[in-house]
Amino acid sequence: MKFTKEEIEKVYNLPLTTLIFKAQEIHHKFQDPAGIQLCTLKSIKTGSCPEDCKYCPQSAHHNTFVEPERLLNTQVILRDALVAKANGASRFCMGAAWKCVPEGKQFDSVLNTVSEVSNMGLEVCVTLGTLKEDQAVRLKDAGASVYNHNLDTSREHYKNIITTRTYDDRLETISNVRKAGLEVCTGGILGLGEKEEDRIGLLWQLSNMEPQPDSVPINALVAVEGTPLENQEFVDSIEFVRAIATARIFMPKSIVRLSAGRTEMSEETQTLCFLAGANSIFMGDKLLTTPNPESNDDAALMKKLGLHPLDPQKAREIHELAEASL
């Protein structure tokens, strides 16, 4: 392991002023400091998921507002991809409430959708549950760039949140994704009732991946009625900012995404997250099933802060330069 938990803990607990200063130094060296990657999410198969993730409104184990929906056909999804592109998104992320990818007609349809969306000039990210290596290769061949598969929390806390799969199952899918040459997007959720050591444990797992994840979504739990975590208090904003800054410091080249939970955050909290090194958001008024801030509000905030949409090509060039200087 490249980093110890103690090293991560020490940084996580720095005085906030020093923590943000250190995160800023790294952010300015390795990233476009005013660039925010804009991603749009689309749920392409909703609800009735056999997994029992305690946080998730789409699990068949919980009774929530979510109306299950079969896999959407390519044409329907393309309409949303077009809107996302017109609104300035550079990445289109498609999520399905599956334990694993079903072979046959459904996977063929997903492959067709992936290829059509990538032909529109959007980066394609998919998150479909557990994946075998050959399936990852087929996604890559169809035009997908990225696969999202979150570790969610520390290894120790995982079993309190999900019982239908293991931490090692998650790590195996991530390894299959890598082997296929897809970019890895993996992160977690804060506010699941975890302790500080679990937040550090998650950051430790992510930072020690070789290579490190290309993008790291940090979600704040959106507590949904009917899930076992419905009464969970919203994560403390400063703890959240600490986690973002620590991710930025230990994973300088990764995109750090301020993900679910922004509707519950003030503009000031979100701004602190950008100061701490977050450089991506989900744009559009819906995440997969829950609300997200309106695009107009996000555009207004970005304008106020003088931030602009991250150009994927420029981001790659900055990474290469920083890499060469190491």
Q: Which residues bind ligand DTB (CB under 6 A)?
A: 41, 57, 93, 95, 127, 148, 150, 187, 217, 219, 222, 259-260, 287-290
Q: Is 39 a catalytic residue?
A: no
Tokens of 288: 């997969």
The C-alpha atoms of residue 303 and residue 173 are separated, in whole angstroms, by 38
218, 244 contact by CB (below 8 A): yes
Helices 5-12, 16-30: axis angle to 10 degrees equals 110
Q: Is 49 a catalytic residue?
A: yes
The C-alpha atoms of residue 16 and residue 148 are separated, in whole angstroms, by 30
Q: Is 125 a catalytic residue?
A: yes
According to DSSP, the β-strands at 123-127 and 35-45 are unpaired
CB of 12 to ligand SF4, least distance (A): 26
206, 249 contact by CB (below 8 A): no
When asked if residue 219 is in the footprint of ligand SAM (CB under 6 A), the reply is yes
The C-alpha atoms of residue 14 and residue 308 are separated, in whole angstroms, by 29
Sign of CA dihedral 301, 304, 305, 308: positive
126, 110 contact by CB (below 8 A): yes
The residue within the footprint of ligand SAM, chosen from 74, 81, 101, 129 (CB under 6 A), is 129
Q: How many residues bind ligand SAM (CB under 6 A)?
A: 18
Q: Is 257 a catalytic residue?
A: yes
From 39, 165, 178, 185, active-site residue: 185
The C-alpha atoms of residue 115 and residue 50 are separated, in whole angstroms, by 28
The residue within the footprint of ligand SAM, chosen from 41, 94, 185, 222 (CB under 6 A), is 222
Q: Which residues contact 112 (CB under 8 A, 6 or more apart)?
A: 74, 142
CB of 12 to ligand DTB, least distance (A): 20
If the CB atoms of residues 59 and 215 are measured against ligand SF4, the closer one turns out to be 59
The C-alpha atoms of residue 176 and residue 168 are separated, in whole angstroms, by 12
CB of 188 to ligand DTB, least distance (A): 8
If the CB atoms of residues 142 and 229 are measured against ligand SAM, the closer one turns out to be 229
The C-alpha atoms of residue 10 and residue 196 are separated, in whole angstroms, by 12
When asked if residue 255 is in the footprint of ligand SAM (CB under 6 A), the reply is no
Q: Is 100 a catalytic residue?
A: no
The residue within the footprint of ligand SF4, chosen from 38, 44, 53, 318 (CB under 6 A), is 53
Q: Binds 92, which of ligand DTB, ligand SF4, ligand SAM, none (CB < 5 to 8 A, cut-off by type)?
A: none
If the CB atoms of residues 47 and 284 are measured against ligand SF4, the closer one turns out to be 47
The residue within the footprint of ligand SAM, chosen from 37, 41, 89, 95 (CB under 6 A), is 95
Q: Is 93 a catalytic residue?
A: yes
From 39, 91, 125, 170, active-site residue: 125
157, 196 contact by CB (below 8 A): no
Half-sphere exposure of 4 (CA within 13 A, CB side): 3
Binding residues for ligand SAM, rule: CB under 6 A, are: 55-56, 58, 95, 97-98, 127, 129, 149-150, 152, 189, 219, 221-222, 224, 260, 288
Q: Which residues are catalytic?
A: 49, 53, 56, 93, 125, 185, 257
